[in-house]
Structure 1
Amino acid sequence: MRGVTPALVGPVWRTLPWRALGAAGALGLLLAAAPGLTGAEPAPWQTLVLMRGIALIGALGLAFLLDDPARHLTTPVPTRRPLRQALRVGLVAPLAALWWAAVLLLVPSSSRPPAGDITLEAAVLGVLALAGAAVAVRLTDEARPGPAVVAALLLTAVLAPLLAPDDWALFVPSEDPRWSAAHDRWAVVPAVVVVAWGVCGPEPLGQRGRPERRERGGRRGARGAA
């Protein structure tokens, strides 16, 4: 297995959804730089909304990370799905961290919310997008579940502030007394999401090897017909 992983880096790198990731990254940076480019001086609540929107855009890009057009061909390979997914995340994670650092530098520092707390929110949204993609891969045969995950993530982002009780509010203003308590709850979310991702990572029992068996069966049928 140790020898297989380095050999996968090149092929996995080439199959990453760079268009979706690049588009989300470019749009996020453009929005972060907009106040400085226009000379605007947004209020703290406006900067908070802006950064939450940028974090959501980044998460929408990550929703495409597990899209794999060759999914049905890679099922029988020796390297299991969790490792292949972890490799995809590992290749993109440093770039995502640099992108978010650039966002923090571009937004007006005078009205920026606490960097650690807003970074936590962005990280949770990213992990939620990746977990949603893993669930879609586990429960469906779709090779490109990204669009469906994007729709689900957008729906969640819209409904969560409306349906969450006041005692469990996550999206609160930075001057709200509930800010610290809300981010204590934000810190719990990744643990739950990572567990769900871990459960959905492996291939379902009996699925591995099926393409090989179908191929061998087709060959035997072809020889019999001949």
Structure 2
Amino acid sequence: MRGVRELLVPVCRTLPWRALGAGAAVGLLFAGTARLFPEGFDPWLALNTLRAAALCFALGLAFVLDDPARHTTATVPTRRPVRQALRLVPVVPLAALWWTAAVLLVPADLRPPLGATTLEAVAAFALALAGAAATVRHGEEPEPGVAVGAGLLVVAVPAVLLLPDRWDLFVATDAPTWPEAHERWAVLLIAALTTWLLCAREPTGRIQPNRPAGGG
């Protein structure tokens, strides 16, 4: 545990704070548009600006596992799940604070249901982290954030425009399919967390030392 604590400070220094800060700042601008331009805003538009804000922060999270020294740190005794978890330790509370600020920027009379909207945001964040973990596990790129962010956008846009009604994720709060849509969001969250847990494991198939011929 002492070694893990000692790693936390250098890990914090290597986090992509610029990407995280940019995603957070743009997201807060989206969330605050209802206060900047109150005329013409309704609950549906406010809900979608909050969704856009969550997507912006998720794009920042896509860079969390970027590590220019990845191929050097892969040889240290600390295992990959611990190294990746350490990168999330300072990010998770910041994400919670950021989401609280984003929600509060939406006027109270336009604010969507907090629990359901938070589920959407957390699922988007988890999808970004799962994509980063999968890219790290199955590729050699030390900084996969750009590719993961682009992939997240490629998934998000069709989800808005092309999904049939029975699979729609982005529904209005007064739509009869609101509960069913958030059951699908819960499934997405579980799938994303499972993917991250599987991809965070150490790669298998390490080369084993040759056994002497005729050994028992």
TM-score normalised by length of structure 1:
0.87
Deviation of 1:41 after TM superposition, in Å, equals 5.1
Q: Which moved more, 1:77-86 or 1:27-36?
A: 27-36
Q: Distance in 1 between matches of 2:129 and 2:201?
A: 14
Q: How does 1:176-187 map to 2 (within 5 A)?
A: 176-187=175-186
The correspondence of residues 1-226 of structure 1 with structure 2, limited to 5 A, is 2-40=1-39, 42-206=41-205
How many residue pairs were aligned?
208
Q: Which amino acid aligns with 2:93?
A: P
How has the CA–CA distance of structure 1 residues 32 and 162 changed in structure 2, closer, same or farther, with 3 Å as cutoff? Answer: closer
More deviation in 186-195 or 75-84? 186-195
Q: Is the 8 A contact 1:75 1:208 kept in 2?
A: no
**CA gap 1:208/1:154 in 2 versus in 1, 3 angstroms:** farther
Instruction: Give the Å deviation of 1:167.
Output: 2.0
User: For residues 172-196 of structure 1, what are the alpha-carbon distances to aligned partners after superposition, in whole Å with 9 as ceiling and x for unaligned?
Assistant: 1111100011112211221111111
- CA RMSD of superposed structures (Å): 1.6
CA contact (8 A) 1:82 1:201 kept: yes
Q: Deviations over 1:93-145 (max 9, x none)?
A: 00010000001111122112111111110000000000000000011100000
> Contact conserved, 2:33 with 2:49, CA < 8 A, in 1?
no
Match of 1:213 in 2: none
Q: Deviations over 1:57-107 (max 9, x none)?
A: 010000000000110000011111111111111210000100000011111
> Identity of aligned pairs, percent?
54
Is contact 1:21–1:62 with CA below 8 Å preserved after alignment?
A: yes
* AA in 1 matched with 2:64: L
Bigger share in helix: 1
Shift of 1:3: 1.8
Provide structure 2 residue ranges, at least 5 long, that are not aligned to the other structure: 209-216
CA contact (8 A) 1:36 1:107 kept: yes
CA contact (8 A) 2:27 2:55 kept: no
Q: Offset at 1:30?
A: 2.1
